[in-house]
Amino acid sequence: MVRGFRRAVRRRRQWQWSLGVAAIAVVVLVYWVLTLTSDNPALLPPPGEILQGFVDGVRDGSLVDATLASLRRVAIGYGIGCAVAVVVGSLRGWFRFVGYILDPIVDALRPVPALAYIPLVILWFGIGESARILVIGVASFLSCIVSVTAGMRRVPPVYVDAARTMGARRTRIFLTIALPSSVPFIFAGLRVALGAAWGTLVAAELIAAQTGLGYLLQAGQEFFHTEIVIVALIVIGVIGFLMDALLQAVESWLLRWSPETRR
């Protein structure tokens, strides 16, 4: 029975991957047809030209350097922003007194787009690397904290009551019950924050950056190299997809005991 279940899960995953590959193939095919019907190849470069742009970028190192620079900024900004969001969101969601203090502040900051903080960040921190990382960190924090707080506030009361009857203190309940129960919400916030981090990256790299995928996008647009713009967009999409898949794999491993993760 267990083997049959595993085979069914494996077949389902293979089917999902097949659908994903087929969808990508359809998108490429549609784009190729559009290039054939376009009167301006500069606006819609053929797939071969895009591939050549990718090869040239890898060969001369410009694409590799830009990718590594953007990865570094996203990793630092996303890591710091999400770490702060998990800590603050957990305290805000679990301890009422902390929630009373932080709820008005967080609720006032959330509607403001992270990009709106760029002028203030430039005034305070200049146009250096720290400013770009800070903008990404702010976007990650604001995107992640909501899910973390919601997870803490939706811990099943029966678990908490059972722990209290056995003499567990609130801090111990927080560490052993509330935090593990909130893992799905935390990872949901991490995945949303990942998209926000990459979405903010392009604008962050417009702050006097000399390298990065956002810089490549801007340079491609200024010099009318559409293939460079498309290559940069594809690289951002692929890296974001791989990072999201990694988050899902870690979540599945941490929650391997849960029936939901086995579906």
CA dihedral 49, 52, 57, 61 (to 10 degrees): -170
Q: How many residues does the chain have?
A: 263
The whole-model pTM stands at 0.86
- Look at residue 205 in the predicted model and tell me its pLDDT: 84
Domain residue spans of the chain: 1-37, 45-262
Instruction: Write the CA distances from 21 to 15, 44, 83, 232, 239, integer angstroms.
Output: 10, 23, 34, 20, 16
Q: Distance between CA atoms of 56 and 228, rounded to whole angstroms?
A: 10
Burial class (CB in 10 A: 0-12, 13-18, 19+), 252: middle
- Look at residue 227 in the predicted model and tell me its pLDDT: 92
Indicate the DSSP class of residue 13.
Answer: H
Closest CA to 183 of 100, 89, 106: 89
Cα dihedral sign, 186-192-197-203: negative
Closest CA to 193 of 244, 156, 154, 257: 244
Q: pLDDT per position in the chain (263 positions), as tens?
A: 555 556 665 677 777 778 878 888 888 888 888 888 877 777 889 888 999 999 999 999 999 999 999 999 999 999 999 999 999 999 999 888 999 999 999 999 988 888 888 888 888 888 888 889 999 999 999 999 999 999 999 988 888 888 888 888 888 888 888 888 899 999 999 999 999 999 898 888 877 678 899 889 988 888 888 999 999 999 999 999 999 999 999 988 888 766 555 55
CATH match of 45-262 with 3.90.650.10: no
